[in-house]
Amino acid sequence: MTGNYDAESNTVYWGTGNASPWFGDQRPGDNLYTASTVALDGDTGKMKGYFQYHQNESWDWDEMNAPMLVDFHKDGATTKGLLKPARNGYLYWLKRNPDGGISYINAQAYVPQNVFKSIDPKTGRPEVDMAHKPATGKAAQFCPGLWGGKDWPFEAYNPKTGIVYIPSNENHCNNLEGKVEERVPGQWWTGVAIPDLHFSVDTKASFYGELQARDVDSGKLIWRQLYPGSMMWGSILTTGGGLLFTGGTNDREFRAYDAKTGEQLWHFKTNSGIMAPPSTYEVNGVQYVAVQSGYGVDAAFQQGLMSELVGWQKDCLVKQPQPLGFLTMQHVRAGSMLIRFCAFALAAALATSPASLGFEQARADESPAYVVEVTDVSAKVGEPAVLHATLRIRDGYRVLEGYNNRVIELSSFDDGVAFERRVVRGTIQEGGLDFAIGVRATKPGRHPINGYFRVGYIHGPDELAMVSLRLIANVNGTE
């Protein structure tokens, strides 16, 4: 996540992630400068200042999005500020000092949150309710869950409307309990296994995802769009002509709203959900809006969990990917401005929930381009072995050689398997791709593993696509 630059003070403001393991009792102290915004000199990189949103981070609430450089009004005066809707569920007003440092001004919750008892009005340091702070050997529920009030998608600010727009989520929680894990370079090391994240939602809630519009000075809610059947994973673009564009929902829609009122003006269904930030540009006097369509990683994983909790469809993309390129053109009028929209689609597949897989035969999802061949492997406990997965290319298709074809997010459901690497690159061979996955059984028995192929293909003269395919296999540990 890139920073934001203030030319007047020659300062770059950058966001930072959370520490690992996730549980703060394993790393006592505030853990500077995690979950923070840092102010760096643009020439030397020397730190000028910082603001930490929550000390001794224990909820996976990383604050990697840099705050927006915004001028707002405070006590009748204009403040050169930083505005940040944090993953912890609070909206922060900070001051950009002339020397590039950062001062706290105010914060208020933009989604319900049960971790902070209060926030110090002078320093911005939260008082944490320890009943909602997980630790090693101590389970605790916290809301919002680890995906936060908002996750990585970007917010936006429109100086003409005076409104900040936040893609947010409510009515979800996690219950985590930490454990001590040996650190193995290149492997998952957070103090909790993926199947033990214990994500939950209020099944009676009227919505989960939302798009909020708040006054930049007061934080007052001006309008909001609620999404009863989806989380919100879309970054925001707002224009000088008073429009707002975003995706982020599992119905694959790309939408345009009136930035002042929240009225939906236009929509277009793409091949997949949209996480990417839209962009706008002008060619020969025509303004275009482009966006990449692709729903994966956390959004896809969470979609699978929601299918189990509230019955949502797991798969929210079309079965046959369309070529990469401009798919269609529509027109919408907002005020006196006529804009031509081009939806830019990149085919991608949605992963299902690891928790739903159970013990299955080695297999992987099918695709129009590849035939997948995966074989289970057996080895003595503690001895290295290699699990081979082969993707045979179908007639009429070609491997996309310039793409980083790989297997990612390898994990063991019961911690019965250690991996040589969590990311394994494919080797292009005649007729397809080969993946050699180094494994080692850590205890006897049959241990299911899970991962995802990220591969590309070419079909015909102009169709190019990148897809995500689920991999399931078993490693049998023998005495």
User: Which residues are identified as catalytic?
Assistant: 60
Cβ(350)–Cβ(449) below 8 Å: no
Q: Quick one: DSSP state of residue 379?
A: E
Cβ(264)–Cβ(256) below 8 Å: yes
State residue 304 phi and psi, 5-degree precision: -65, -40
Classify 324 as helix, strand or coil: coil
Please state, in angstroms and rounded to a whole number, the distance separating the CA atoms of residues 276 and 295: 9
Residue 449, classified by CB atoms within 10 Å of its CB into exposed (0-12), middle (13-18) or buried (19+), is buried
Please state, in angstroms and rounded to a whole number, the distance separating the CA atoms of residues 157 and 165: 6
Cβ(66)–Cβ(60) below 8 Å: no
Secondary element (H or E) of residue 342 = strand 337-345
Query: C-alpha distances in angstroms, 421 versus 254, 296, 451?
Result: 37, 21, 12
Cβ(277)–Cβ(235) below 8 Å: yes
Please state, in angstroms and rounded to a whole number, the distance separating the CA atoms of residues 93 and 79: 10
